[in-house]
Amino acid sequence: MPGMPQQLQEWTREGLISPDQAAAILSFEKGRSKTNWLLYSFMSLGAGVLGIGILTLIAANWEQIPKTIKLGSDLLLMLGIAYSIWKQQDQDHPLAWELLIILFTLGCLASIGLIGQLYHASAGLDQALLLWAVIVLPIITLSQRTLLPLVWIWIMLAVLSYRLIVTPMQAFSEEERALTIGYSLPLVCALAAILLRPWSTTELFARAFRFHAWLIAICIIIVTDASSMANSQHWHWHASTTWVGIAWACMVLAGIAKRRQPSVSGQIILSLLVILYTATPPLVIGLKLSHWFSALFTMALFALAATWLVREGSLRLANGLVFLLGMRFLVLFFTAFGGLIDAGIGMILSGVVILGFVWLWSRVQKHLLNWMERMAPS
């Protein structure tokens, strides 16, 4: 064990153990460590070589192996992993529990691939992933970390979005469907996060949905803003898309209002965020607003979102948003002034204004929030 000699010296100095005992412990550990290290190294080497050899043999003779043997081996492997998970159910080793669940879900995906190969099934990747997502959902709810729910939700959103885009609908054209889905996704994720939060079983999924809501919303706003800066915009924004977004936003706002947490000020900030997000793409893309207005919306959204994230303690994401805000500011100035000198003077003035605003906000924030709390219904 590293640091053991120093530790033993300290214990001896404090009189916890005698010098003879310290020497005996050191001697015992030295002998054991060497033996264990050698043993484990050779065991790992042997197991690794054996495993690779078996896989190589299987790969070389894959075609000669009968279908029943392949399927039977796959079944045995899955049952073996399932049994290992069962034995870990007391969760004495949380990491082992998580790794085994990941292995099981990967095993399910590999099994789907194997069945597809054996029966020459050419269903699309989206259908294979949809099947995988459905069958592994129960086991993923047993996970104690957010990784698997994050991956699961990402895959489901991608697959369902693709399915909705390629499935023809009388009322919606393909472009309309794509725009509506992209625009609505953050709101759908936000609603799912609100609905799933109350139960402990689904809390990790709620967290994962919240993450996706933020991530997709930021991407949509960046894409919307970028489209306003392009010389020609090829998208046609339909009124139906706006109405769908408004419908989702109303549900999200209702969910926010029903929650006991956060505080009233937090609810107000969240609601403003939802409203601003819902309004931005229809106004910028639909009305083909200039990039000035788009910049205003984008920066307001990022500033508000950063404020909320700081409240929530998500400092990294908040910092990222402030960085994006700064970048957008820079782009705006260079677009506005063109030259470096003019842009520089403009930015100095703006920096002074921003710092002044921050100073003013730090003075009035507490009073303003107290006032909001007093005004809120009990």
Partner 1 sequence: MITRRQLRIILSLLFPIVLLGALVAHKQWVLQHGAEIHLPIEGFDPRDLLSGHYLTFRINYGKPVCINNPENNGTGSRLQEYPAHVCLAPLGFAFGHTATPECSLYILGTCQGSNFRAGIERFYIPEEYARPLETEVRNKKGEIILSISASGTATIKGLLIDGIPWQEAVTPQSLRR
Q: What residues line the site for partner 1 (CB under 8 A)?
A: 62-63, 71, 75, 78-79, 82, 85-86, 89, 104, 108, 111-113, 115-123, 125, 128, 135-136, 138-139, 141-142, 165-168, 170, 174
Residues 291, 222: Cα–Cα separation, whole Å? 12
Nearest of 154, 251, 128, 265 to residue 194 by alpha carbon? 251
Q: Which is nearer to partner 1, 98 or 225 (CB)?
A: 98
Q: How far is the CB of 46 from partner 1 (least distance, A)?
A: 27
Residue 265 near residue 369, CB atoms below 8 Å = yes
Q: How far is the CB of 199 from partner 1 (least distance, A)?
A: 14
Q: How far is the CB of 239 from partner 1 (least distance, A)?
A: 20
Q: Which is nearer to partner 1, 80 or 326 (CB)?
A: 80
For Cα atoms 104, 110, 112, give the angle at the middle one, nearest 5 degrees.
110
Cβ neighbours, 10 Å, residue 179 = 23
Q: How far is the CB of 83 from partner 1 (least distance, A)?
A: 9
Q: Which is nearer to partner 1, 78 or 343 (CB)?
A: 78
The string of DSSP codes covering 174-201 is HHHHHHHHHHHHHHHHHHHHHHHTTSST
Q: Which is nearer to partner 1, 165 or 303 (CB)?
A: 165
Q: How far is the CB of 108 from partner 1 (least distance, A)?
A: 5
Going by the DSSP 8-state scheme, the letter that residue 376 receives in this structure is S
Structure tokens at 43: 């065991």
Residues 159, 169: Cα–Cα separation, whole Å? 17
What helix, strand, coil percent values describe the chain, rounded to 5? 80, 0, 20
Rg (Cα) of the chain, in Å, rounded? 29
Q: Which is nearer to partner 1, 121 or 352 (CB)?
A: 121
Q: How far is the CB of 138 from partner 1 (least distance, A)?
A: 4
Q: Which is nearer to partner 1, 43 or 76 (CB)?
A: 76
Maximum CA extent, the chain: 88
